[in-house]
Chains A and B, each alone.
Chain A
Amino acid sequence: MVEHVGSTNPECVLDIRGLTKSFGTNVVLDGVSLTVERGKTVCLLGPSGSGKSTLLRCVNFLEKPDQGSIYLSGRRIGMREGGVIPMSTSELAQARARIGMVFQHFNLWPHLTVLQNLIEAPIHVQRRSRDEVVAEAEMLLERVGLTDKKDVFPNRLSGGQKQRVGIARALAMKPELLLFDEPTSALDPELVGEVVAVMKTLAEGGSTMLVVTHEMGFARETANEVVLMDGGRVVEKGQPSEFFTNPKTDRARQFLQRYVSA
């Protein structure tokens, strides 16, 4: 097999090829391929246990895939060019810093204020100047509507506010790609809207996003492409207008029925 050097498409920010991952005998990813182009939002849908979160976590090597390759803007992630030698921890850390991640349970740093959460990694990982980073962080907090909370510690925030901080924290890294791992699943229903609203402005503002979600409304209105996963495989992908009104596979129809009736 010929090892591709990145993607031939320069607009391709994320290129996942033939990814497999097993936990023991449990096959979680069974040859998944997927691309996300610059400025596009791709939503990963599927029942729980279908492998979507694992796929997301493989992108920045929080989980190490067994086989397959991942390219970020044409550069291999996790393995050195050639795909035989794994990246050193320092190379991996540098690669991870190019990808922003938003977690289901927010995963904010509790010992730091909201502003400190935003500037921590840009200053101490990316080694950018503090003044520049603080100014940008303040703008980001304004964008997510949390300027008045900048000196507050995370445990004083509501879930929706925490997640908006989580998003701003990811943006502060100026990432090439944003990963969202079920960003609204841990929220009370009345708080989902404020987070989805922020994600919509990001998508419309040209961020490149890969989103694992159960928010069908968001996927339908905002995604450029939806990808349905089941049993560790991609079973259908397409434009949301097609996918939601005229799914091609039985599996997609079943999945949608459950969500429409629920």
Chain B
Amino acid sequence: MTVITAATPAPPRTRKVASRHQWIGLLYVAPAVALVVVFFLIPLGMTAWMSLHNWPLMGEHSFIGLGNYVAILRDTRFWNALRFTAYYTVIVTIAIFVVAFPLALFVERPRPLTNLYRTMFFMPAVVGFASASLLWSWLLNVDSGLFSPAAYDLGLIDRKFNLLATFQPAFWSIIAMVVWKVAGFTMIILMAGLQSIPQDLQEAAVIDGAGPFARFRAITLPLMRRTLALALILSVAGSILAFDQFYIILRGGPRNQTLTAVYWIFNQSFVSFKLGYGAALSMVLLVILVALSLVQLWLLRKPEGLD
């Protein structure tokens, strides 16, 4: 009984302290919350609201309920754009990892000139996508650029080849450009993951007689799950939202074969002036993106028994 009476006054005090702590905590995160509300939640709400309207860029708008969403179902060019975006996402993500992983393994350990290599590989990542696209747009130009004229002047080809005129070379040129631009960034993320793996685990495995491949498969990969998840989500989300490079270098060409989902949204909103429809397309893309990210997080979740 005494124990209880002695104990009862305590909880209110701790609760009071705790709640004051919570208020102070809230105060600390308030600027961040305000940013999220002003620059994410309100625009998101407005987009959802606009998607229920026939909302031209200029002039009066009118409420049409789910009309825009019904129209999306019949919009074959949007679904084609989405299919191309998916194809591009798969290819470019694989390409980025194929390049970035070896680079990360290469620059992870200290060796002569490591810092130089790291800087060199990372450098393209600090260039904006638009500027990088303009640069490559020139490099790829058939008359005044670098690749085709150089190959011609060196006698490798007997007629200048227009890399951007047909789908395959144009598509792979974009892939090359994106890998050049993004691989360095993915490399840094993967490198950080590699460095967080305790050295003694590797050493213990070596003593147990595990070869380099077995160590990579049984230690490196499992312990990098969360790093891989981060890199993968960044890469997939970035690729699904691809726009700049296709707009600046290819203008969606050759013959509209490289229209991505975001490009289509841009066209509907700012070329055809259908802002409401563009907003509805954006909502659809948002749902797809969130769903994909959840699936990836689930696939790469923390396995049982591992920290």
On whether the two chains bind one another, the answer is no
Partner-B contacts on A (CB < 8 A): none
